[in-house]
Amino acid sequence: MATQTYTLAEFIADLTRITSTETSGSAIAQRVAPLLGQLVKHPDAIPPEFRRRPGSGKRGRYMLHRAPDFNVTAVVWGPGDTAGAHNHETWGVIGVIENEIQETRYRVTEGADGGRARVEVAKVFRHGPGAVSLLTPGDEVHAMHNVTDRDTVEIHVYGKDLAGLARKTWEPDGTVKPLVSPKYLNC
């Protein structure tokens, strides 16, 4: 008997249930991670139009489900695409559907009076298809880089709507800059 594919609708139903009963961001991320792992095992669970870039060299950013307590988005990184060190101000779970992504995690020690922070690389990962990465309070600063020559397709799930959310980004020298956009930046 063929195994049934875990569908996007089932994943969203599970997220709705988990986020309505669990309040700890870390606990939510821990519970969502294996479910996202199941979802990303089957690329066909995500419609093909959300697994490709829109053309003209742009990154693919697609909202799949937008609820008050969580968002599910698809991200398609082109070859060489990057996002510098940034935080999220919420829990997150990221799963790779196709190809791979390099994720760098940082330890950030804030500078006095909003001055330069100390930004140290904690770990560098290469996540392949089916891999899942958790962002939890206290460990949610990362950078992303598609170091390959092919597109990388991911699903990102966050506990807050990132549109308009006041976040931060750090230069390699520790200079901190506000990261806030009226557009939905789903990474």
Instruction: Please give the structure tokens belonging to residue 17.
Output: 């249930």
53 strand-pairing partners: none
Report if residue 187 touches Fe ion, rule: CB under 5 A. yes
Check residue 117 for interaction with Fe ion (CB under 5 A).
no
96 binds Fe ion (CB under 5 A): no
Return the range that interacts with Fe ion (CB under 5 A); candidates 46-54, 63-71, 108-116, 179-187: 179-187
> Cα separation of 81 and 33, whole Å?
24
CB of 163 to Fe ion, least distance (A): 14
Per-residue tokens: 75:
């991200």
Residue closest to Fe ion when measured from CB atoms: 187
Half-sphere exposure of 41 (CA within 13 A, CB side): 13
Considering the complex, state which of residue 39 and residue 179 has its C-beta at the smaller distance from Fe ion.
179
7/184 with CB nearer Fe ion: 184
Query: Is 101 a residue that touches Fe ion (CB under 5 A)?
Result: no
Residue type for position 58: K
* 18 contacts Fe ion (rule: CB under 5 A): no
Dihedral Cα 65, 67, 69, 74, nearest 10 deg? 20
Assess 36 for contact with Fe ion (CB under 5 A): no
Here the tokens at position 100 are: 């791979």
Q: Site for Fe ion (CB under 5 A): how many residues?
A: 1
Nearest to 140, CA basis, from 114, 158, 154: 158
Does 97 bind Fe ion (CB under 5 A)? Our answer is no
Q: Cβ 135 to Fe ion, closest distance in Å?
A: 7
Residues lying near Fe ion in the complex (CB under 5 A)? 187
